[in-house]
Amino acid sequence: MQPEILAEVPTGLTKATLDPADWTELRAQSHLMLDDMLNYIEDIRTRPVWQPIPQSVRSTFHEGVPAQPTALTEVHEIFMQNILPYSAGNIHPGFMGWVQGGGTPVGMVAEMLAAGLNANVGGRDQMPVELEKQVVQWVRELFDFPETASGLFVTGTSMANLISVLVARTSALGVKVREKGLTASDKRLVAYTSSGAHGCIAQAIDLSGLGTHALRLIPMNDDFQMNLNALQHAIVEDRAAGLTPFFIAATAGTVDVGAIDNLDAIADIAQKEKIWFHIDGAYGALAILAPEIAPRLTGIQRADSIAFDFHKWGQVPYDAGFILIRDGKLHHDTFAAPSSYLRRETRGMAAGSPWPCDFGPDLSRGFRALKTWFTIKVYGTDKIGSVISDTCKLAQYLKKCVEINSSLELLAPVSLNIVCFRFRCNNSDLMNIDEINANIVLDLQESGIVAPSTTTINGCLAIRAAIVNHRTSTYEIDALIKATIDFGEVYLNRSHE
């Protein structure tokens, strides 16, 4: 039966609504806003990477809750003047601080479409859920996982790592852990990761109720990879002490230096010891798309779970984290919670069970899959792979520049796209070498030219350039080298005075 559909939008409704009275005006204003952002991205090179926020701008945002309306044009103007110029700058080609993606105009407009649809991708019979399943299928294909593997978009790798720990916990203790907690079993679980692992692994162990004392930080070898003898030794020791090893988190692309653990060898150990093998591939896992780097990820296909972000090397706008789990049933059984108001049907809107909300803690979920799907469809994985390769080539270029420059020194091997180096100098009366390098980084950030960050390598403070952004070129690398030396020399001269 065809229902009657209104031929025209009814007029004269008096109830409150948030739609505009004048769509023509809103349309014109919307086009302006879209153009402003496209201009912003197109002209990003003419702006500083970052600039300090003036106090006057900060204080604009200390007002009370507005009960009365403000015109959209006016609010947009506030955005242009006081918000847009003062973001952290990760879309800028000179941004090399931390590991952050640059986003794309395609991702941006896809976000607009997703917001217009306002899909809640927790579940129900709708194409947005099907689209997420399409991306899950692509991810399975990339990592050679079986059809029975499950996948889910999440905020980021921090959440993805937490989910993997929870599923591994179910695997070790059984689903009764969901009701009885850790007292469900006498087993005392212990987990392993390298001392170069991201802090969110320890956080995941903490949040899972195991406590961070249950995490062994295995030392690294000279290449900043997990030391496998030490791992094997720790497992043997823990078993001898009556503990139950249950989880090994390897890293594909450490956040400090970009090292890739020996995944295949860790897979062997995990298999032999019957321990869950997880990979934190936050940014590195997508190197599977770059033919010359992919072989170094060998073993990733053997993982029980992989956590990674589309918002880093994948250049999808924030946020777009992902968790892939080999045993989809165990993943489902770790999170699914039947409730009367979420009843499933075989037809109608409540069909299509299981739903994404059955695979993680979020019920309401945004349409992260759309911007990811657009990005992959529009650019294709070959192009994204080339972007990834090129950031690694730039890192090699930066490494060479550091090596041929007598006032600079390299502090860690350059395995992927991260270069850790420092300005050479002797400790002065005023500052030691670490303080000078820390100040150089602050000067660089405040200059707006390029923005690296810092880390500590073998006890030394390093200038850390993580090249993730697809816009970065040799121009920014040259600028980094020149500005580092210029700022460094100011400190040298100051201490000679």
Ligand X SMILES: *Cc1c(COP(=O)(O)O)cnc(C)c1O
**Burial environment of residue 332 by CB neighbours within 10 A (0 to 12, 13 to 18, 19 or more):** middle
The string of DSSP codes covering 331-368 is: HHHHH----GGG---SSSTT-SPSPGGGGSS-SS---H
Footprint on residues 223-252 left by ligand X (CB under 6 A): 251
CB of 309 vs ligand X, minimal distance in Å: 5
CB of 251 vs ligand X, minimal distance in Å: 6
Binding mask 135-174 for ligand X (x = CB under 6 A): ---------------------xxx----------------
For Cα atoms 377, 298, 398, give the angle at the middle one, nearest 5 degrees: 75
Residue 305 in contact with residue 92, Cβ under 8 Å? Answer: no
- Token pair, residue 160, equals 């993805």
Task: Kindly state whether residue 309 participates in binding ligand X, applying the rule CB under 6 A.
Answer: yes
Residue 425 is which amino acid?
A: C
Sign of CA pseudo-dihedral 341, 343, 347, 350: positive
The footprint of ligand X on this chain (CB under 6 A) covers a number of residues equal to 15
Binding segment (CB under 6 A) for ligand X, from list 260-268, 280-288, 331-339, 435-443:
280-288
In the complex, residue closest to ligand X by CB: 156
Output 104 or 484, the one with its CB closest to ligand X.
Answer: 104
Nearest to 227, CA basis, from 252, 195, 199: 195
CB of 253 vs ligand X, minimal distance in Å: 6
Nearest to 90, CA basis, from 313, 259, 258: 313
CB of 312 vs ligand X, minimal distance in Å: 6
Nearest to 307, CA basis, from 264, 358, 249: 249
Footprint on residues 63-102 left by ligand X (CB under 6 A): 99
Task: Kindly state whether residue 321 participates in binding ligand X, applying the rule CB under 6 A.
Answer: yes
Task: Kindly state whether residue 316 participates in binding ligand X, applying the rule CB under 6 A.
Answer: no
Task: Kindly state whether residue 283 participates in binding ligand X, applying the rule CB under 6 A.
Answer: yes
Nearest to 60, CA basis, from 77, 48, 47: 77
Output 384 or 436, the one with its CB closest to ligand X.
Answer: 384
Binding mask 188-227 for ligand X (x = CB under 6 A): ----------x-x---------------------------
Which are the contacts of 168, defined by CB distance < 8 A and separation ≥ 6?
A: 246, 247, 276, 278, 304, 305
Task: Kindly state whether residue 280 participates in binding ligand X, applying the rule CB under 6 A.
Answer: yes
Q: Which residues bind ligand X (CB under 6 A)?
A: 99, 156-158, 198, 200, 251, 253-255, 280, 282-283, 309, 321
